[in-house]
Amino acid sequence: MLETIKETISFINSRTKIRPEIGIILGTGLGGMVKEIDIADTLEYEDIPNFPVSTVESHHGKLIFGTLGGKRIVAMQGRFHYYEGYSLQEITFPVRVMKYLGISHLFVSNASGGINPNQEIGDLMILDDHISLIPNPLIGKHEPEFGDRFPDMSETYDKALIERALEIGKKNNYPVCQGCYVGVTGPTLETPKEYQYFRIIGGDAVGMSTVPEIIVAHQMGITCFAISIITDLGVPGKIVKVSLHDVTSVAGKAEPRMTHIMKELIGGL
């Protein structure tokens, strides 16, 4: 895989002079954050050697280089999911590429279903832990250059960034909490009993992404921060039928608050 990464890096570096220090992954319905980026270069996924191509309706499929909060960034406008048929190695390939491009911090966003009864639709949840019900992306041949074979995951999400994000939310009267994200394969949305199970095992929100990217980033020594927008509820008595349109609509309305928090965090690094 290392040679494949080097091939991709060579192509990207020939198309942009930006050498990013921050990586950003934008989730379902959350591509609007791009408007806050001072864009220098944009590469289509389909033009980048060895890159997967996003097949989800709300994911644009662009790698964006520029500045945000005074920092050099690379942003994925559109991510990849296990349910699309990609391997976990393909899904996390862009994270490894971003590491070799030079990033030290990764900021990840997603839309998720709330399973904590204290949550409401449109709330922001800062991830302080996760439970992975997705196959582990580190299964397979180990590349020592990528980090430990058995990385410790006891402090996966940066505590200082979590604390700062909660402060920013409180200062601006945003509905922000912190909690544990349950990563599942999808693409089906959860049954009521599945929601109940995820809550019993310690989850506060559930979604179909984020965990594989975070695992790989953490293995490679990248500082991680992740935030969910609660787009629907899996709480008894509040479960209703949900469509992708519903999810993207809620995500779009809450996105400015998420963007504000992430921009301030990045600017303060």
pLDDT in tens, 100-126: 999 999 999 999 999 999 999 999 999
Indicate if the pLDDT at residue 226 is higher than 60: yes
Q: Measured between alpha carbons, how far is 82 from 64 in angstroms, rounded to an integer? A: 23
pLDDT of residue 58: 52
Mean pLDDT of 76-85: 92
**Six token digits for residue 8:** 């991709």
Q: Measured between alpha carbons, how far is 105 from 223 in angstroms, rounded to an integer? A: 5
Q: Name which of 178-192, 235-249, 251-265 the model is least confident about.
A: 235-249
Tell me the torsion sign for CA atoms 52, 58, 62, 63: negative
DSSP 8-state code for residue 182: E
Residue whose tokens read 């299964």: 139
Mean of per-residue pLDDT scores for the chain: 93
Indicate if the pLDDT at residue 66 is higher than 60: yes
pLDDT of residue 56: 59
Q: What percent of the chain has pLDDT over 90?
A: 84
Instruction: Map out the domains of the chain with their CATH numbers.
Output: 2-267 (3.40.50.1580)
| pTM for the predicted model, two decimal places | 0.94
Indicate if the pLDDT at residue 249 is higher than 90: no
- How many residues make up the chain in this entry? 269
- Give the C-alpha distances (Å, rounded to integers) separating 85 from 81, 164, 228, 247: 8, 37, 23, 22
Q: What is the CA radius of gyration of the chain?
A: 17
Q: Measured between alpha carbons, how far is 12 from 244 in angstroms, rounded to an integer? A: 32
Residue whose tokens read 């408007």: 35
Chain-centroid distance of CA 57 in Å reads 17
